[in-house]
Structure 1
């Protein structure tokens, strides 16, 4: 999480928090989810989640360091692989 946004992925699914609003997405509703690095002044994690009904959700979170961003990417990739979400 950063000052404004947050991404949480766990056994229940993916939660995206943007500007104080949270979208809860259980794994059963997630067709595709992916995360990627966005370069700029700071390292940014960009997450996209697509539901089976075609609804897309996005969230960007600024990491405190490049190492933290790399850890987030690895954890997100491992979770989506474990829950067999194509992404």
Structure 2
């Protein structure tokens, strides 16, 4: 889970959920083609994209308190995504 004052990303057994300024979007695994993530241009934001089965793309950006926190989020995301959404 990655959280800032306005946004959050949660990856769990149900799928991926984004909260963006109070608006919730939930994506069950059966509706997800892929999930991508990267650091933002400033090196302090986590950018996560969910690619839906119909090719629509949904994105959420979460601000880390620092590069260390961003590194912690990256360290957790890879194994969690690999566990719940293994590559075909």
Scaled by the length of structure 1, the TM-score of the pair is: 0.88
Which blocks of at least 5 consecutive residues in structure 2 are unaligned?
A: none
- The corresponding residue for 2:79 is 78
Which blocks of at least 5 consecutive residues in structure 1 are unaligned?
A: none
The 5 A counterparts of 1:52-63 are 52-63=53-64
For the aligned residue pairs, the C-alpha RMSD in angstroms reads: 1.4
Deviations 1:43-86 (A, max 9, x none): 00000000111121000000012111111112111122112355
Scaled by the length of structure 2, the TM-score of the pair is: 0.87
Number of aligned residue pairs: give it: 85
Distance 1:23 1:13 in 2: 11
- The corresponding residue for 2:40 is 38
